[in-house]
C-alpha cells in the first residue's frame, strides 16, 4: 500500500551516496558536490556507501582526484569543506549490518536523501535494507537509470519503492539530463522564434545523434554484464535526446496551441516511431528512431 503523502516536507539533512566508489561518482557526482558547496547549497553530511574496503582518507583522495580531473580546483577552502562533510561506510548491500553502520554514521540526521548510483539488480536489497534499519520514514530516494531490466522488473521495482517511500519522496532520474548542453536543447528550440516554425518535416531531412565517449568499459565490467550498453545508454540517454528533439512544446507552460493537442495524445509504438504531425509526411511513415 502506498505511503501517505508528506505535507510540507522539510529539506534533507544528509546525503547518502550508494556506489560512491564507482565510475559515475568519479566522473559526475564529486564534481557536482564541489560545485554545490561552492554555490553554498550543500552543507550537510555526505555519507558514501560501497562494498570497497576503503578508509575515509582513500575516499577523500578519490574525491580530490575526481574534482581535479573534471577541471581545476579553484577554491581550496571549498574543497576542504567538502572533504570535511564526507563520511564512509563499507559493506555488503545484502548485509543488515551495513545499514546499521549507516544509521550510526548519519548520527542525528533524520531526513536523509538516499542516492542509488548502483546497478539495478541491487536496488531491491538497498531499499529493503533501508526500510529494515528505519532509514526511510522522512527520507527521500533518488534512483538512477536504468530503472529495472525490462517492463516487468520496472513495475516490480516501482511497487517496491511505493511500499516503502511516498511518491513525492521518490525521484527517478537520468543524470545525463542534467548536462547543460542537453537542457539547452529546449531553450534552443522553443525560445527562438525563428527556429520553431521550421523545426518540422518540411525543413528537416534527417536527424543524426552521435554519442561519442573517449573511455571504455574500464572498471564497469560487472555493471555492463548485468545492464549492457542498450540499457545503459540507448534506452535512456539517447531516447531522452530524441524526445527533446521531437517533442511538442510543453503544454503546461502554455506554449502548445490548437493542433498540437491531438498529436500529443497519440501513443508512441514499440518501434520508437514518433507519431506527430511535425514529422509524419502525408502517406508516409513517421520519423523512426534507428540505433
Residues with catalytic function: 237
CA distance 20 to 51: 9
CA distance 228 to 221: 9
C-alpha cell at 5: 503523502
CA 284 to chain centre: 36
CA distances from residue 71 to 74, 75, 93, 226 in whole angstroms, order as listed: 9, 12, 33, 31
Strands (E), 112-187: 112-116, 140-144, 170-173
Is the distance from CB of 119 to CB of 227 less than 8 angstroms? yes
Is residue 208 packed enough to be buried (19+ CB in 10 Å), middle (13-18) or exposed (0-12)? exposed
Distance between the two ends of the chain, CA-based, in angstroms? 39
> On the CB side of 229, how many CA atoms lie within 13 Å of its CA?
5
In sequence order, which residues have a C-beta less than 8 Å from that of residue 237 and are 6 or more positions away?
A: 174, 176, 211
In sequence order, which residues have a C-beta less than 8 Å from that of residue 99 and are 6 or more positions away?
A: 129, 130, 132, 133, 135
DSSP label of 4 = P
Amino acid at each position: 500500500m502506498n505511503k501517505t503523502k508528506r505535507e510540507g516536507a522539510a529539506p534533507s539533512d544528509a546525503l547518502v551516496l550508494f556506489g560512491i566508489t564507482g565510475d559515475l561518482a568519479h566522473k559526475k557526482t564529486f564534481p557536482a558536490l564541489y560545485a554545490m558547496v561552492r554555490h553554498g547549497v550543500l552543507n550537510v553530511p555526505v555519507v558514501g556507501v560501497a562494498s570497497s574496503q576503503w578508509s575515509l582518507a582513500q575516499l577523500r583522495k578519490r574525491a580530490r582526484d575526481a574534482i581535479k580531473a573534471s577541471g581545476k580546483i579553484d577554491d581550496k577552502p571549498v574543497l576542504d569543506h567538502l572533504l570535511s562533510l564526507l563520511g564512509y561506510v563499507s559493506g555488503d548491500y545484502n548485509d543488515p549490518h551495513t545499514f546499521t553502520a549507516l544509521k550510526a554514521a548519519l548520527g542525528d540526521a533524520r531526513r536523509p536523501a538516499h542516492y542509488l548510483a548502483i546497478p539495478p539488480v541491487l536496488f531491491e536489497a538497498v531499499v529493503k535494507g533501508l526500510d529494515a534499519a528505519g532509514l526511510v520514514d522522512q527520507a527521500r530516494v533518488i534512483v538512477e537509470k536504468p530503472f529495472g531490466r525490462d517492463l516487468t522488473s520496472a513495475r516490480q521495482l516501482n511497487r517496491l519503492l511505493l511500499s516503502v517511500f511516498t511518491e513525492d519522496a521518490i525521484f527517478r532520474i537520468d543524470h545525463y539530463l542534467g548536462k547543460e548542453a542537453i537542457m539547452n536543447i529546449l531553450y534552443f528550440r522553443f525560445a527562438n522564434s525563428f527556429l520553431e516554425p521550421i523545426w518540422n518535416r518540411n525543413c528537416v531531412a534527417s536527424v543524426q545523434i552521435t554519442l561519442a565517449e573517449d573511455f571504455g568499459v574500464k572498471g564497469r565490467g560487472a555493471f555492463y554484464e548485468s545492464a549492457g550498453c542498450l540499457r545503459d545508454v540507448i534506452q535512456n540517454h539517447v531516447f531522452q535526446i530524441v524526445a527533446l528533439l521531437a517533442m511538442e512544446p510543453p503544454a503546461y507552460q502554455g506554449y502548445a496551441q490548437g493542433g498540437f493537442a491531438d498529436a500529443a495524445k497519440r501513443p508512441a509504438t514499440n518501434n520508437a516511431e514518433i507519431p506527430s504531425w511535425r514529422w509524419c509526411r502525408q502517406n508516409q511513415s513517421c520519423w523512426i528512431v534507428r540505433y
